[in-house]
Amino acid sequence: MPATHSRPSLRQQLNTITSRKDSSREFLVQRGVLSSTIVCGCSRPMALRPCSATKSADLYVFWCPVCRKNRSLRTNSVLAKSKLSFSTFIEIIFQVSSKTTTNVEIGGLTGVSVRTIQELRASLSAAVGIYILNNPEAIGGAGLTVEVDEAMFGKRKYSKGAYREGV
């Protein structure tokens, strides 16, 4: 019988990526979530350099050899103000994209507060919005029909109470 090579499941791939800090960091750099290089205030490129865990939990910092300043790996990213580990961030993104889990369930699975997950969702939504504005892409094309349906928006009276049917 011929050997069949099955592809690892998405969960197995996720476990491989999140099993080590280096693989999580590299995954985020490859996907453009983290920068691979940044420019220092002195206009010189900063180099990625290992550091002690006491200096940065990410174990790497950007370092300028000229002015000797350090910058976080998280600089100019959606993780800039977050203390989440890279592997936890990837796990949350996986759970959010599955659309089958609520913030409470994601919090239970990852050990992260619901508020943190809500804030992360908001910052991801803003980042996606900026990307879409900066990279417009036409939908449809030759021989395709694009139909846009009406939207219905609900409202609350005085920002309290029961949800009211919208227009």
pTM, full prediction: 0.70
Interacting residues of 123 by C-beta distance below 8 A, sequence separation 6+ = 78
- pLDDT bucket at 4, cuts 50 / 70 / 90: low
Closest Cα to residue 91, out of 11, 8, 30, 9?
11
Taking only the tens place, the pLDDT of each residue in 35-64 is 888 898 889 999 888 887 776 777 888 999
Q: How far is CA 116 from the centre of its chain?
A: 13
Give helix 86-98 / helix 10-18 axis angle, nearest 10°: 160
Taking only the tens place, the pLDDT of each residue in 102-126 is 889 888 888 999 999 888 888 888 8
Dihedral sign for Cα 41, 132, 85, 24, please. Answer: negative
Across the chain, which distance is largest between two alpha carbons, in Å? 69
- pLDDT value at position 162? 63
